[in-house]
Amino acid sequence: MTLFDARHLSWPRTRALAEAGAIALLPVGSTEAHGPHLPLSVDVLIAEEVCRRVALRLSRDVVVFPPVAYALTDFAAPFAGTVTLNADVARQMLTGILSGIVGGGFQTVAVVNHHLEPAHFRVVHDAGKAVQAAHPARRIIVADHRRAPTGPKLGHEFMHGGSHAGRYETSLMLACAPALVDEAARLALPSLEIDLPGAIKQGATNFLECGGPDAYFGAPADATAEEGERLFDLLAEATASAIESPAP
């Protein structure tokens, strides 16, 4: 149905949309290093594009709120431009934003998070649960595409922890914002097959310690816009079905 950008709405129009059953979407990303070939805004841009594609699939109107561009992002902290918040600040910020959206009258609010650092995703889930507990009559959805059945469809690299600025994210960027991908830098990058979850289990606390001196993992040179389109369809479909499925 129709997508409305909350930044362009008046408050009476917002209230009317909420009362008519529109779904609120909150895109969540980060400001963090994504290799030498991608901008700091990758996670925000991916989250916003997924929101646009979710709106096309839903039977109700959608209001997309301004994206959350800052997050807990300790793994990329050693790289210039990365801005990390501690977990308490990030949790309070997200809880406050979701409470504000619910306060506007929206019955269903979905968080569309594409910053995948595990500690950050925990914070997003915690904030969703806190706001859900405070508003039991509403529905707060935190879509989590890492899980089956969606995760395994997103490719080997995604499932094996190389999904930071590699083939997966670079393909998504080629599909939604190709002008922001430095093609010369991308094509020159050697594949860096590193088991991020394994490195984290062994105590690594940032991308340097994981063996990623340029803040990318996986194979950016293998990325294609066609693959990005397919991935966006999978992500949007998973998020839309999480929203459409009956409350648990």
Which parts of this chain interact with Zn ion (CB under 5 A)?
A: 42-43
Cα 7 to Cα 167: distance, rounded to the nearest angstrom: 32
* Block residue for tokens 């889930």: 125
Contact between 11 and 194 under an 8 Å Cβ cutoff? The reply is no
Query: Which residue lies nearer to Zn ion by CB, 63 or 142?
Result: 142
- Name the minimum Å distance from CB 168 to Zn ion: 9
Query: Which residue lies nearer to Zn ion by CB, 26 or 47?
Result: 47
Query: Which residue lies nearer to Zn ion by CB, 21 or 118?
Result: 118
Query: Which residue lies nearer to Zn ion by CB, 43 or 157?
Result: 43
- Name the minimum Å distance from CB 88 to Zn ion: 22
Instruction: Please report, as a single letter, which amino acid is at residue 231.
Output: L
**In the complex, which residue's CB is closest to Zn ion?**
43
Strand boundaries in the chain, DSSP class E = 3-5, 23-28, 62-64, 108-113, 139-143
Report helix, strand or coil for 142. strand
- Name the minimum Å distance from CB 164 to Zn ion: 6
- Name the minimum Å distance from CB 163 to Zn ion: 8
In degrees rounded to 5, what are phi and psi of residue 181?
-100, 125
Cα 37 to Cα 27: distance, rounded to the nearest angstrom: 23
